[in-house]
Amino acid sequence: MNPHAKLISISSLILGTTITISSNHWMMAWTGLEINTLAILPLISKPHHPRAIEAATKYFLVQAAASTLLLFSSTTNALFTGQWDITQLTHPTSCLLLTTAISIKLGLVPFH
């Protein structure tokens, strides 16, 4: 991998993590998670081998499904509470969906 491309990928990982950690709004948290997902894909598929490409594709599809679930959770929370703030997660359905989405994104058992 080109050193400049590797530097951009690692910088994007740091930027995405910083955005996710420091966000107070669901859309900014989602944006940071998506930046992380898109930054790690070139690093996963760096060795041009069919298994690496397959792993990157599977990773992308699982992360896209988890991102959709996270957005659905935040929309459901906004529908029931009228708040888009991360700290106002009070509805049980939204909380369950968010926990599931973050577990998938982190790769926790049984979502690994």
- Confidence tier at 19 by pLDDT (50, 70, 90): very high
Interacting residues of 110 by C-beta distance below 8 A, sequence separation 6+: none
Rounded average pLDDT over 91-97: 89
pLDDT at residue 74 greater than cutoff 90: no
Neighbours of 76 (CB within 10 A): 17
pLDDT for residue 46 is more than 90? no
pTM of the complete model beyond 0.75: yes
Residue 18 has pLDDT above 90, yes or no: yes
CA angle (91 as vertex; 26, 21 as ends), nearest 5:
30
Mean pLDDT, all residues of the chain: 87
Bridge partners, 85 (sequence order): 25
Asked if residue 111 has pLDDT above 80, the reply is no
